[in-house]
Amino acid sequence: MRIIIVGFGVVGQSFIKILLSKSAELYSTFGLNPRVVACVDSNGMAVSPQGLDLSRLLEAKRMKKSVSAYYGNKKFCPSTSEIIESTEAEVMIEVTPTNLENAEPGISHIVSAMKTKKHVITVNKGPLALAFSSLLELAGYNNVRLAFSGTVGGGTPILEFAKKCLRGDRILSFRGILNGTTNYILSKMEEEGLTFQQALADAKQKGYAEATPKLDIEGYDAAAKLAIMANWIMSRKVSIADVSRCGISEVDLNAIRNARQKGKAIRLIAYCDNDQLNVMPLEIQPDDPICVSGTLNAVTFSSEYSGEKTIIGRGAGGLETASAILRDLIEIRDSISVPFDLMA
Amino acid sequence: MRIIIVGFGVVGQSFIKILLSKSAELYSTFGLNPRVVACVDSNGMAVSPQGLDLSRLLEAKRMKKSVSAYYGNKKFCPSTSEIIESTEAEVMIEVTPTNLENAEPGISHIVSAMKTKKHVITVNKGPLALAFSSLLELAGYNNVRLAFSGTVGGGTPILEFAKKCLRGDRILSFRGILNGTTNYILSKMEEEGLTFQQALADAKQKGYAEATPKLDIEGYDAAAKLAIMANWIMSRKVSIADVSRCGISEVDLNAIRNARQKGKAIRLIAYCDNDQLNVMPLEIQPDDPICVSGTLNAVTFSSEYSGEKTIIGRGAGGLETASAILRDLIEIRDSISVPFDLMA
């Protein structure tokens, strides 16, 4: 199966590392023989219809900071969309950074891939948070799959759980913690009495928060994930703009202490049912299964017959998110009905 | 799809109630048009090749305590296995009580069904805890499916989660709370300072413990579920006899208080990796996601790439377990490749 990788940061590289370490097992268990025919990062690209050497690709990135070093002096100059459209491949994996303003460049990459009949796997939240239904419609029109397990929960299969494990039942609502950075900050304030600024500094120092952490702190990241879940799980036609959103920058130590005196804890909770769609700091019971500490994510689904079910796991991480890409790739492999030998 | 139901307690009746309330949706969404052609309980049976009237079946059970009242005075006398073998049907649903001594009568029912090419859905733990591999082999030999989602976790899809949501990753080990009764007792002792006997009496009074609760208290129920999970998830060839098992009857208030002083909580933990297989009371951290209260079940899976993932939900309940039967039925419907119109 021929693959184009667009974006080659921690997640993209982790995915290549998994392919390198698992190739025999992927073929024997899933009939999957992935061949990376193009890899693009912000400084250039490497293309080979025969398949790139994955170790050399990682080495080029490590030594020269760009996959463009793969061929030494040789330069490729077309735009990323041109490469996506003109390279023959079955799957395009979109791993560029999330942009919640206008979803670029991810959304253009996805459209280019689908227009040229390539299946798409994305871990980029921007395109789906802004244009979920149009993208799914475009995928249907072009008869390709749009897979996005890694957009919510990192490696924790929150979307799959809701779709695959509760068939015949009906999810009435769900609520949870979708952003690890803010949960880390709130946990630190609660457990160690740090101020918001101190906890934020600590999160930055540990690599849990970006240098400009507005997307996390103000609840945009959680709202993007909530919009994706609302579309996928509850069949709502919404975008991030429809989410009532309030971040945690106004949560001070007094609020945390007041909650504690009432036997409660403050968490940034995303909630969705057939009417509501919101992200806001709320007081919850410490023995509520979603009341997790640190960078964990947690979601409770309320269903018609089988009651409440909670899933908890790490919501980020390179290897974790790369494992979600692999799950999607295996699903796509399964869905393609050409003969095993030809397709693998 | 023609169905034989064997066992008609709370779970079997809840399943019929779901069929009654959901019939239109089951057909439109899943192409499923279930027809119950035989129903057997401990006092008799009702059989109709055209399909039993489900409301009348529930009414017969409610008024006369047995489905044999469905036909008024008419009596059917063959054995259950004869009925299973001679009735034309696609699926047999086994809902008789669990017997961990010799798995009867459930295992005979399952064998009868498979020998006559019927798919089997069971929520009865006995047959699988004692003879998992043989039954799966027999299913393969007869080209039928053996589905058992409801044997672990009630309506909480613990088995599905492990099998369907982590493809491409590898589960290295798992540990969790698989029995709600013992968890309720330990939680009560911890939170309210009740003695073991007081907490047990409370659990009986609330309907969470049987009159003779040995299966729960001594860890047999958790061990049965652990054996099923070890076979299914870790591909181990084990039975309940291979589980190192220690129940909670020796856990007294002193032990609970000692644990508490160390900032820990005692829970009955089932654990499985490639070597170990055990059920025993252990001290765990209260902020461990599996440290749930009351009758909940919780399992954490440790996987190669995506780290630890926890699933939490109610581990019992009529409607919940019936929802697991429905999930299995939908899966079987999907797997049958005869034309939609004929099969539905």
Q: Give the CATH number of the domain where residue B29 resides.
A: 3.40.50.720
Encode chain A in three state secondary structure. Answer: CEEEEECCCHHHHHHHHHHHHHHHHHHHHHCCCCEEEEEEECCEEEECCCCCCHHHHHHHHHHHCCHHHHHCCCCCCCCHHHHHHHCCCCEEEECCCCCCCCCCCHHHHHHHHHHCCCEEEECCHHHHHHHHHHHHHHHHHCCCCEECHHHCCCCCCHHHHHHHCCCCCCEEEEEEECCHHHHHHHHHHHHHCCCHHHHHHHHHHCCCCCCCCHHHHCCHHHHHHHHHHHHHHHCCCCCHHHCEECCCCCCCHHHHHHHHHCCCEEEEEEEECCCCEEEEEEEECCCCCCCCCCCEEEEEEEECCCEEEEEEEECCCHHHHHHHHHHHHHHHHHHCCCCHHHHC
- Residue A209's pLDDT band, with cuts at 50, 70 and 90, is confident
φ, ψ at A24 (rounded to 5°): -60, -45
Do A176 and A259 have their domain in common?
Answer: yes
Q: Which of A139, A140, A141 is nearest to A121 (CA)?
A: A139
The pLDDT of residue B73 is 61
User: What residues form DSSP beta bridges with A301?
Assistant: A174, A309
Residue B19 has pLDDT above 80, yes or no: yes
Closest residue in B to A301 (Cα) is B313
Residue B304 and residue B216 share a domain: yes
Chain B residues whose C-beta sits inside 8 Å of any chain A C-beta: 18, 22, 26, 30, 154-157, 160-161, 164-169, 287, 289, 292-293, 296, 298, 303, 305-314, 317, 319-320, 322-324, 326-327, 329-331
Mean pLDDT, to the nearest integer, of A192-215?
Answer: 92
pLDDT, one tens digit per residue, over A301-319 is 999 998 999 999 998 889 9
The answer to whether residues B170 and B248 belong to one domain is: yes
Distance from the Cα of A152 to chain B's closest Cα (Å) equals 13
Check CB contact under 8 Å for A169 and B296: no
Q: Which residue is closest to A321 within chain B, CA to CA?
A: B306
Which structural domain range is residue B117 located in?
A: 2-155+319-343
What is the C-alpha to C-alpha distance for residues A117 and A141, in angstroms, rounded to an integer?
10
For the question of whether the overall pTM of this predicted structure is more than 0.90, the answer is yes
Termini Cα distance of chain A: 6
**Alpha-carbon distance A328 to nearest alpha carbon in chain B (angstroms):** 9
| Residue from the list A155, A309, A330 with its beta carbon closest to the beta carbon of B311 | A309
pLDDT at B78: 84
Handedness of CA A81, A87, A91, A97 (dihedral sign): negative
Q: How far is A76 from chain B (nearest CA, A)?
A: 33
Catalytic residue list contains B225: yes
**What pLDDT sits at residue A76?**
62
Do the Cβ atoms of A305 and B18 come within 8 Å? yes
Q: Are residues B222 and B126 in the same domain?
A: no
> Residue B169: its chain A contacts at CB < 8 A?
155, 323, 326-327
A243 min Cα distance to partner chain B (Å): 27
Up-side HSE of residue A85: CA atoms within 13 Å toward CB?
A: 10
The verdict on B243 and B209 lying in the same domain is yes
CB proximity list for A129: less than 8 A, separation 6 or greater: A100, A103, A223, A224, A225, A227, A228, A239, A240
Confidence at A212, pLDDT banded by 50, 70, 90: confident
Whether residue B12 is found in the same domain as residue B150: yes
Q: Would the pLDDT of B319 be above 80?
A: yes
Instruction: Flag whether pLDDT at A140 surpasses 50.
Output: yes
pLDDT at residue B141 tops 50? yes
Pair (A258, A323) in one structural domain: no
**Whether residue A52 is found in the same domain as residue A148:** yes
pLDDT of residue B343: 46
User: A200 and A282: one domain?
Assistant: yes
pLDDT of A337: 59
Q: Can you give the pLDDT at residue A211? A: 77
Are residues B297 and B324 both part of a single domain?
no
pLDDT of A28-73, one tens digit each? 999 999 999 999 999 899 999 999 999 999 999 999 889 988 987 6
Element (H, E) at B215: helix B214-217
User: What is the ipTM, given to two decimal places?
Assistant: 0.92
pLDDT at A21 over 50: yes
A199-215: b (≥16 Cβ within 10 Å) or e: bbebbeeeebbeeebeb
pLDDT at residue B95 above 80?
yes
* pLDDT greater than 90 at residue A342: no
CATH number at residue B256: 3.30.360.10
- Both A332 and A295 in one domain: the answer is no
Tell me, what's the pLDDT at B336? 80
Which residue from A minimizes the CA distance to B163? A165
pLDDT of residue A341: 47
Top residue of A13, A29, A167 to mutate, by most chain B CBs within 10 Å, is A167
Question: Total domain count for chain B?
Answer: 2
Catalytic-labelled residue, pool B61, B118, B125, B225: B225
Q: Say whether B155 and A305 touch across the interface (CB within 8 A).
A: yes
Q: What is the pLDDT of residues A230-255, one digit of tens each?
A: 999 999 999 999 999 999 999 999 99
Residues A237 and A103 in one domain: no
Q: Which of A61, A188, A225, A309 is catalytic?
A: A225
Structure tokens at A336: 């393609």
Residue B329 has pLDDT above 50, yes or no: yes
Q: Identify the pLDDT of residue B212.
A: 80
**Do the Cβ atoms of A323 and B293 come within 8 Å?**
no
Average pLDDT (A262-279) is 97
Structure tokens at A14: 């982790």
Helix axes B220-234, B125-141, angle to 10 degrees: 30
Please report which confidence band the pLDDT of residue B77 belongs to, taking 50, 70 and 90 as the band edges.
confident
Q: Residues B188-213: what's their mean pLDDT?
A: 92
> ∠ CA(B140), CA(B142), CA(B143), 5° rounding?
60
pLDDT at A210: 81
Give residue-wise pLDDT tens across range B259-278.
999 999 999 999 999 999 99
- The answer to whether residues A178 and A152 touch, using CB atoms and an 8 Å cutoff, is yes
